[in-house]
């Protein structure tokens, strides 16, 4: 094995049979394994008969532990970075460590494998030639709606992660901001209770509301029926967006401002004027 190498190793998102031969081999050969949760990762390593020194590396200790891991690499040791499940650095800590290793000309080698976003996308039946992975939306509704508004002009399928206890709130905001698009909620992928709930946002909300959602969740959102065009006249953009009937005036104004290149306040005032125009009713 090449020394002084940082390996980014994907681990299963549920089914342990998804662990690759290469990942098992390299984990058994490195000098140190950096794991998001050492207790969780120890179960995985024990399953494959791997016994190596472990150190924790997660959001709240990455500055301190990152320097220690870099020191090990500087000393010529090989290090594997793994997360609790899936591919490290994808909505998981790690990119700072990779960035710092690259800056010091330390080789960084990816060992591909499971990733919840790609797994869900591959089985979604939604367009895959163009897609945007945006990770977890903000937890607060106002910021979440602003976040979704920013996604509204993007082409292709949108892929999000979400915690089960915020799923309904996020779906309601998707309906409000993005309209009645086709949506898929994929949960517990590769596990015993794997499930993909498909339909319009309203249909998926109704289905999800029937019970308690558990496990990791991926939300996939189909592209909008129309592509928003830049530099479209403000009034035309507002008329088209307001005709949808599912987007609030505030969010209509935000989207129209981006499309038309005007300020949000001007777009909002024009949206109010159009809304209250008796000739428009």
Could you tell me where in the chain the CATH 3.40.1010.10 domains are found?
Answer: 6-114
pLDDT of residue 241: 81
pLDDT of residue 227: 42
In CATH terms, 6-114 corresponds, of 3.30.70.260, 3.40.1010.10, 3.40.50.720, 2.40.390.10, to 3.40.1010.10
pLDDT of residue 246: 63
pLDDT of residue 211: 83
Structure tokens at 141: 């509704």
pLDDT of residue 281: 54
**What is the CATH topology of the domain spanning 117-221?**
3.30.950
Which stretches of the chain score pLDDT less than 50?
A: 226-228
pLDDT of residue 265: 87
pLDDT of residue 244: 64
Could you tell me where in the chain the CATH 3.30.950.10 domains are found?
Answer: 117-221
């Amino acid at each position: 094995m090449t020394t002084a190498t940082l390996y980014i190793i994907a681990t299963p998102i549920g089914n342990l049979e998804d662990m690759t031969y290469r990942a098992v081999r390299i984990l058994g050969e490195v000098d140190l394994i950096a794991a998001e949760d050492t207790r969780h990762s120890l179960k995985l390593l024990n399953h494959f008969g791997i016994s190596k020194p472990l150190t924790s590396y997660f959001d709240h200790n990455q500055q301190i532990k990152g320097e220690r891991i870099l020191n090990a690499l500087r000393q010529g040791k090989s290090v594997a970075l793994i997360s609790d499940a899936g591919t490290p650095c994808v909505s998981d800590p790690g990119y700072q460590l990779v960035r710092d290793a690259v800056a010091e000309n330390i080789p960084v080698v990816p060992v591909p494998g499971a990733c919840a976003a790609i797994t869900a996308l591959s089985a979604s039946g939604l367009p895959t030639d163009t897609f945007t992975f945006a990770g977890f939306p903000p937890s607060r509704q106002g910021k979440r709606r602003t976040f979704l508004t920013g996604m509204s002009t993007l082409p292709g399928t949108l892929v999000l992660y979400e915690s089960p206890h915020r799923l309904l709130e996020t779906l309601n905001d998707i309906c409000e901001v993005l309209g009645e698009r086709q949506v898929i909620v994929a949960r517990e992928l590769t596990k015993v209770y794997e499930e993909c709930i498909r339909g319009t946002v309203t249909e998926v909300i109704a289905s999800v509301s029937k019970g308690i959602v558990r496990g990791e969740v991926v939300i996939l959102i189909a592209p909008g029926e129309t592509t928003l065009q830049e530099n479209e006249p403000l009034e035309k953009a507002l008329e088209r967006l307001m005709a949808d009937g599912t987007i609030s005036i505030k969010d209509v104004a935000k989207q129209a401002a981006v499309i038309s290149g005007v300020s949000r306040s001007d777009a909002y005032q024009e949206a109010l004027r159009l809304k209250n125009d008796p000739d428009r009713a």
